[in-house]
Amino acid sequence: MAKMTVARAMVEVLKSEGVEIIFGIPGAAIYPFYDALYDSNIKHVLVRTEQAAVHEASGYARTTGKVGVCVATSGPGATNLITGIATAYMDSVPIVAITGQVNSSLIGKDVFQEVDITGATAPFTKHNYLVKDPKKIVRILKEAFYIASTGRRGPVLIDVPIDVQMQEIEFEIPKEIDIPGYKPKEKGHPLQIKRAVEAIESSKRPVVCSGGGVIASGASQELQILIEKQKIPVISTLMGIGSIPTDHPYYLGMIGSHGQKEANLALRQADLLIVIGARLADRALGDTKITEDMKIIHIDIDPAEIGKNVDTNIPIVGDAKQVLSEVNKRISERKDFWAYEIKAQKKVLPDDDKLHPYDVLREISRAYNGDYIITTDVGQHQIWAAHNLYIKEPGTFITSGGLGTMGYGVPAAIGAKFGRPEKEVISITGDGSFQMLLQELATIKREQVPIKIVLFNNTRLGMVYELQKKRCTGRFIATCLDGNPDFMILSKAYGIESMRLESKEKLKEAIEIMKSHKGPFLLEVVTSPDEPTIP
Amino acid sequence: MKYTLSVLVENHPGVLSRVAGLFSRRGFNIDSLAVGVTEDPTISRMTIVVNGDDYIVEQVTKQLNKLIDVIKIKKLNPKEAVERELALIKVNANSQTRSDIIQITEIFRANIVDVSKETLTIEISGDEDKIEALIELLKQYGIREVVRTGLIAIERGNKVISKSKSEEDE
């Protein structure tokens, strides 16, 4: 057993877990860890605010399937992580967040840059640790990676006091992790699977609602086999977009208050709803009331999700990939696809001389043929993107679905590009969201991250503006973003090439310029404030 | 309706706050929560009394199970469990009322554990109804202070809820 400091041991465990990249900002309470990182080959990306560090780790995790790692110092560094951690929790993204803490002997005394970050993050971390005993650090870090990346994934935070980081320990990595209270159940119950098969086969109008869990478990192929065998229309939640290709003949679109008409219609007409890896939150259900006549099969790795928002007839706890492959083994073939009629009612978008956001997104889809990773921010542009982009592969549409965190998209794109450098990464954003974390343009410049940013600029907080228009009879308050900077000059200040698109004639040319540009690029699309979320 | 949950948790600092925090942020009402170390010093047992319906209890159980420090949860059937609560009741007592209070205490098989010129302190253990009944009777003399532990419960017979017995898991 080698002797080393806790800080060095932390780096050694990260290396043993295959960590290649860390996003963070140093500070006085985490400097021993950073000092130990100096001697390692782990890449460190210096972000401009800690919130971006979590989002970048999230983008990295969601594109690679690995655990994303971010680091911050104590106090404000740690609290700046909070929004990002909550975002990762709501979307089940595996993150290990490491924070420095003040000296152990000073904890609880409100000293400089002290905050109870484990207390603060307890409601939205999968688990967290305050490391008081230096000897436990190795096991705790191993556990953190195990917890973050198994079962229903999620963020884990480890808070390490500075004096603990500096102490010497005997370094030995435990071979096995055994946590008595944590035994994720991956295999579905055979009897429940049998009941599910019977219910699907005897239903007349089944619908699959596919959520983020399908993508997280890598169950897209199994889902496709099931729906093609049984000819089941698929609707998805925002997090489930990409779980099957959006041009699949059985895909009807996203459900919910901002969903597609045909998807919601299918949900209302169904006699059997098969929910897979989704929690069916209020936004997903929209105005649709689940009636007693509709049977529900709910497959989820997290038993607490089943029956939480809707009553379930056949609950199946397990990993979506495993459960669906078991279902597929037993399921028969069906002849008719019942929802063709619904699909035929698909709305035709207006085609006029104006430059609409959907024109831009459809042109991007055409130009790239779906060979990209898309990240979005939160707002009207997010819904436009969800409705109009062609998403070919699972895990290539990355958005803050659960928490709805503005500012997520650009940092997530940076993380995604580090995770999948061979892929084109495009961040779709709005002027409101973009300005919540635009300091990350500095990270893009410093690291020369060749991502593309498509910025819909309508000088509004568009979602709320639209809400005020409809619900407050046009009493607009605090939704006009007058005072926006000139985004072209702004991006020039960061050394990033940019272009402004104002007319439809220039659309193809602009997308081509963006596509052929080698480095980072910002395309500002001037958009009417009155462009609705759903035309 | 009231439900009693017996919860085995790892004996770590901060576990109680995680459990209590979960109840408040999910909007569940805890009637009482009693916690103490078990025969295994690495494990503590919490006895939680929850007020609600079957849906609430199911949600509480599922959400508690999600906590990494929670090892096992069992809903106890009151008919198959021994339930006790300890209470200390300080009641006004003067020369005229003192003997009446002592008589009531004896009927309830409670103990007088402290005496002053103006008060008596009574210790009682039993189920909630018994304690409520005593408090009700003592009200007429003027209760100065009541301290209650909350319910603790254990299954009758040879049944146990332990870390290793997986069949007892919820």
Question: Which residue of chain B has the CA closest to A131?
Answer: B13
Token output for A480: 């006009």
Q: Residue A92 pLDDT > 50, yes or no?
A: yes
Contact (CB<8Å) B63/A304 = yes
SS3 B3: strand
**B68:A119 CB<8 A:** no
Å from B149 to nearest chain A CA? 25
A320-336 per-position pLDDT tens digit: 999 999 999 999 999 99
The amino acid sitting at B34 is: A
Q: What is the pLDDT of residues A380-439, one digit of tens each?
A: 999 999 999 999 999 999 999 999 999 999 999 999 999 999 999 999 999 999 999 999
Identify the bridge partners of residue A99 per DSSP, sorted by sequence position. A72, A159
Shortest distance between the Cα of A182 and any Cα of chain B, in A, equals 5
ipTM of the complex: 0.89
Chain A positions in Cβ-Cβ contact with residue B163 (cut-off 8 Å): 180
Comparing alpha-carbon positions, the chain A residue that sits nearest to B61 is A304
Kindly report the nearest CA distance between residue A180 and chain B, in angstroms. 6
pLDDT of residue B134: 97
pLDDT digits over A521-535, tens only? Answer: 999 999 999 999 988
**Chain A residue with Cα closest to B14:** A119
- What is the percent of chain B where pLDDT is above 70? 96
Residue A346 has pLDDT above 90, yes or no: no
Chain A neighbors of B7, CB-CB under 8 A = none
Q: CB of A434 within 8 A of CB of A378?
A: no
Can you give the C-alpha Rg of chain A in angstroms? 24
Alpha-carbon gap, residue A432 to A410, rounded angstroms: 12
Task: Please report where in the chains the tokens 């106890």 appear, as a residue.
Answer: B76
To the nearest whole Å, the CA of A45 is away from the closest chain B CA by: 31
3-state SS assignment for residue B20: helix
Give all strands (DSSP E) within A94-226, no chain letters: 95-101, 127-130, 155-161, 168-171, 206-210
pLDDT confidence bin for A515, thresholds 50/70/90: very high
Exposure pattern of A292-304 as b/e (b: 16+ CB <10 Å)? Answer: eebbbbbbbbbbb
SS3 A38: helix
Cα of A123 to nearest chain B Cα, Å: 7
pLDDT digit string (tens) for A348-383? 888 899 999 999 999 999 999 999 999 999 999 999
Optimal mutation site among B12, B60, B63, B68, interface A, most CBs of chain A within 10 A: B68
CA-to-CA dists, residue A436 to A239, A406, A411, angstroms: 22, 7, 11
Chain B contact probe: residue of A139, A142, A146, A182 with most B CBs at under 10 A: A182
Using a CB–CB cutoff of 8 Å, tell me whether B50 touches chain A. no
Average pLDDT score over residue span B93-117:
96
Q: Percent of chain A, pLDDT > 70?
A: 100
Spatial distance between the Cα atoms of B117 and A33, rounded to a whole number of angstroms = 64
Question: pLDDT value at position B1?
Answer: 87
Q: Which CA distances in Å does B66 have to A82, A105, A124, A489? A: 20, 32, 12, 49
- Residue-level pLDDT at B37: 96
> CATH for B2-76?
3.30.70.260
Task: List phi, psi (to 5°) of A70.
Answer: -135, 155
Does the pLDDT of residue A148 top 50, yes or no? yes
Contact yes or no for A208/A250 (Cβ under 8 A): no
Q: Confidence class of residue B170 from pLDDT cuts 50, 70 and 90?
A: very low
* Predicted local distance difference test score (pLDDT) of residue A289: 74
Shortest alpha-carbon distance between residue B63 and chain A (Å): 6
How close A481 comes to chain B (CA, Å)?
34
Per-residue pLDDT at B167 exceeds 70: no
Q: Does B82-153 match B2-76 at the fold level?
A: yes
B11 touching A (Cβ < 8 Å): no
Residue B104 Cα, gap to closest chain A Cα (Å) = 46
A99 band by pLDDT with thresholds 50, 70 and 90: very high
Show residues of chain B in contact with A130, CB under 8 Å. Answer: 14
CB-based contacts of B13-19 (< 8 A; 24+ apart in sequence): B14/A118, B14/A119, B14/A130, B15/B44, B15/B67, B15/B69, B16/B46, B17/A119, B17/A122, B18/A122, B18/B67, B18/B69, B19/B46, B19/B48, B19/B64, B19/B67, B19/B70
- Return the bridge partners of A334, or none: none
Which residues of A fall within a CB distance of 8 Å from B62? 303-304, 306, 308
Residue B166, pLDDT above cutoff 50:
no
How many CB atoms sit inside 10 A of residue A364's CB?
A: 25
DSSP label at A254?
A: E
B130-163, pLDDT tens digit by residue? Answer: 999 999 999 999 999 999 999 999 999 988 888 7
Does residue A33 contact residue A41 with C-beta atoms inside 8 Å? no
Instruction: Give contacts of B68 with chain A, Cβ < 8 Å.
Output: 126-127, 147, 179, 181-182
Q: What is the 3-state secondary structure (H, E, C) of A475-494?
A: CCCCCECCCCCCHHHHHHHC
Of B10, B17, B22, the CB nearest to A181: B10
Residue A118 to residue B14, Cβ atoms within 8 A: yes
Burial of B139 (0-12, 13-18, 19+ CB in 10 A): exposed
Mean pLDDT of A141-166: 98
Q: Do A147 and B59 touch (CB under 8 A)?
A: no
From A68, A117, A114, select the one nearest A92 (Cα to Cα): A68
User: Is residue A347 pLDDT above 60, yes or no?
Assistant: yes
CB contact under 8 A, B71 and A122: no
CA-to-CA dists, residue B162 to A181, A305, A503, B82, angstroms: 12, 26, 70, 17
- For the stretch A56-80, pLDDT in tens is 999 999 999 999 999 999 999 999 9
Q: What distances in angstroms separate CA A413 from CA A45, A234, A520, one per listed residue? A: 14, 27, 11
**Are B41 and B57 in contact, with CB atoms under 8 Å apart?**
no
Closest approach of B66 to chain A, Cα-based (Å): 8
The architecture in CATH of the region B82-153 reads: 2-Layer Sandwich (3.30)
Put simply, the answer to whether B62 touches A181 (Cβ < 8 Å) is no
Choose the closest CB to A127 out of B17, B62, B68.
Answer: B68
Q: Does B160 touch chain A (CB under 8 A)?
A: no
User: Tens digit of pLDDT for each residue in A230-283?
Assistant: 999 999 999 999 999 999 999 999 999 899 999 999 999 999 999 999 998 887
The answer to whether residue A190 scores a pLDDT higher than 90 is: yes
The whole-angstrom distance between residue A452's C-alpha and the CA centroid of its chain comes to 18
**A304 vs B70: CB contact, 8 Å cut-off?**
no
Domains located in chain A, CATH noted: 3-170 (3.40.50.970), 190-344 (3.40.50.1220), 357-526 (3.40.50.970)
Q: Is B5 helix (H, G, I), strand (E, B) or coil?
A: strand
For chain B, which residues make up each domain, given as ranges?
2-76, 82-153
- The neighbouring-strand residues paired with A316 are A299
Instruction: Give the span between the Cα atoms of A81 and B115, in whole angstroms.
Output: 56
Note whether A304 contacts B62, CB cutoff 8 Å.
yes
**Closest chain A residue to B62 measured between Cα atoms?**
A304
Mean per-residue pLDDT for A337-358? Answer: 91
Strand, helix or coil for residue A307:
coil
Q: What is the mean pLDDT of residues A505-510?
A: 98
In whole angstroms, give the CA distance from residue A369 to residue A372: 8
Q: Which residue of B has its CA nearest to A116?
A: B14
User: What average pLDDT does the structure give for chain A?
Assistant: 96
Q: What is B61-121 written as a DSSP string?
A: HHHHHHSTTEEEEEEEPGGGEEEEEEEEEEEE--TTTHHHHHHHHHHTT-EEEEE-SSEEE
| Polymer length of chain B | 170
Nearest CA-CA partner of A358 in A530, A529, A527: A527
Identify all chain B residues contacting A147, using CB atoms and an 8 Å cutoff: 68
Please check whether residue B70 touches A, CB under 8 A. Answer: yes
At residue A67, the pLDDT reads: 98
Query: Between chain A and chain B, how many beta carbons pairs sit less than 8 Å apart?
Result: 41
The DSSP line for A366-435 is HHHTT-SEEEE-SSHHHHHHHHH----STT-EE---SS--TT-HHHHHHHHHHH-TTS-EEEEEEHHHHT
Cross-strand partners of B112: B122
Stretch B119-127: mean pLDDT? 97
Residues from chain A that touch B14, judged by Cβ atoms under 8 A, are 118-119, 130
> Which burial class, exposed, middle or buried, applies to B55 when counting CB atoms under 10 A from its CB (0-12, 13-18, 19+)?
exposed
